[in-house]
Chain A
């Protein structure tokens, strides 16, 4: 039976992802690590500041995990929220787990704590790169209702592996932000088909920004996470330079395209209009024959 990843809370996702009963939380709700900024604005806080961090086991291997709770302020990254994630990554360098899993569900930096949130994002990225440099894989799972945008979009792409469902969305500026700043002619955030074919999992997979595409099923995310930990970590200057060359080529080839199906056609996909309706297995069979 499938259990939707999209519909679950952060705590339910962790329970379904890890070996049963193996999760130990750091800074649980009873520790009351609360945002110092929200009360100044007369806004309520959350006992975990919108993120759960801890350690657990995945197929008997120890992992450190973080899960953002999209239900609290859109999973937005505040100062304490960010410090919990940075602390988890720093702990990984000492404890050397089999990997660090980040279950992202976030619209980006919490605007109520904008500067502190932006600093937190840069601290997360620095800690994340140090973990990778130590040979420990960092895997981001994206399949929640808030997607993974803004600073968290950058964080996700600084890791080793991104696992996504079609329903999960990954990007820099989210659809509403693009519409607000560039106009509805540029991007209609209420056009759901447009949103999903631009920032959804299938397009991100074709662009090689998501490394693994799975069904919206916690079991599928779990299997993909197990596989991801088995991949060798390749993080050196040559890998970064090769990625820059790939991105330059991609921009030269597809930079003028107005919509995703044009890119798909350019990749040699014969009937791009059918792509959005395919199920994951059908899509992967077709996509793995295309050239990004």
Chain B
């Protein structure tokens, strides 16, 4: 679990048939394209499967979202 004042990322193993699922709960509306871009970048950096990522967001910037996602993967895989 990685958390901060403006973003909380929870990453867990889940039986998704090799896929990944990301749930985003955000206070800020109208940034669907930015979220999609940040998540596409994230999945370009990491090869993951059967992982469920849940995000509680309170207006974090895209850079912070990327950082927290990377930290969450580190916690899950134990690799820096």
A binds B: yes
Complex contacts, B8 vs chain A, CB 8 Å = 44, 46-47, 72
CB distance from B9 to the nearest CB of A (A): 10
* In the complex, the 10 A-B pairs of residues with the closest C-beta atoms, listed nearest first: A44-B56, A71-B5, A44-B58, A29-B10, A44-B27, A47-B10, A29-B1, A44-B25, A46-B8, A45-B56
Inter-chain contact total with CB atoms closer than 8 Å: 33
Alpha-carbon distance A217/B25, docked complex (angstroms)? 35
Contact count band on B: 10 to 19
The proximity string for B residues 35-64 relative to A, scoring 1 for CB distances below 8 Å and 0 otherwise, is 000000000000000000010111000000
**Which chain B residues have a beta carbon within 8 Å of chain A's beta carbons?**
1, 3-5, 8, 10, 12, 25-27, 54, 56-58
Do B3 and A9 touch across chains, with their CB atoms under 8 A apart? yes
- A72–B26 touching, CB < 8 Å: no
Q: How many A residues are at the interface, by size bracket?
A: 10 to 19
Which chain A residues border B10 with CB–CB below 8 Å? 29-30, 47
- Which chain A residue has the least Cβ–Cβ distance from B58? A44
A30 to B11, CA, bound (A): 9
On whether A71 and B4 interact (CB within 8 A), knowing A42-B27, A43-B27, the answer reads yes
List 11 interface pairs A-B (beta carbons < 8 Å), by A numbering. Answer: A30-B10, A43-B27, A44-B8, A44-B56, A44-B57, A45-B56, A46-B3, A46-B56, A47-B1, A47-B8, A47-B10
Contact A71 B57 (CB under 8 A): no
Mark interface residues in A242-260 (1 if CB within 8 Å of B CB, else 0): 0000000000000000000
Which residues of the other chain, B, contact A216 by a CB distance below 8 angstroms? none
Say whether A167 faces chain B, with CB atoms less than 8 Å apart. Answer: no
Q: Is A79 an interface residue (CB 8 A)?
A: no
* Closest CB in chain A relative to B17 CB, distance in Å: 20
A11 to B25: give the CA distance in the assembly, Å.
22
CB distance from B61 to the nearest CB of A (A): 15
Q: Is the CB of A69 within 8 A of B3?
A: yes
Tell me the bound Cα distance from A42 to B59 in angstroms.
12
Closest A residue to B29 by CB, please name it. A42
Cβ–Cβ < 8 Å partners of A46 in chain B: 3, 8, 56
Chain B, Cβ-Cβ closest to A71: B5
Q: Distance (Å) between the CB of B16 and the closest chain A CB? A: 15
Q: Considering the chains assembled together, what is the distance between the CA atoms of A168 and B4 in angstroms?
A: 20
Q: Are B12 and A30 in contact (CB under 8 A)?
A: yes
Contact pick for A72, options B3, B27, B57, CB 8 Å: B3
- Restricting to A43-67, which residues have a CB under 8 Å from any CB of B? 43-47
Nearest chain B residue, comparing its CB with the CB of A42: B27
Residues of A near B1 (CB, < 8 A) are 11, 29, 47
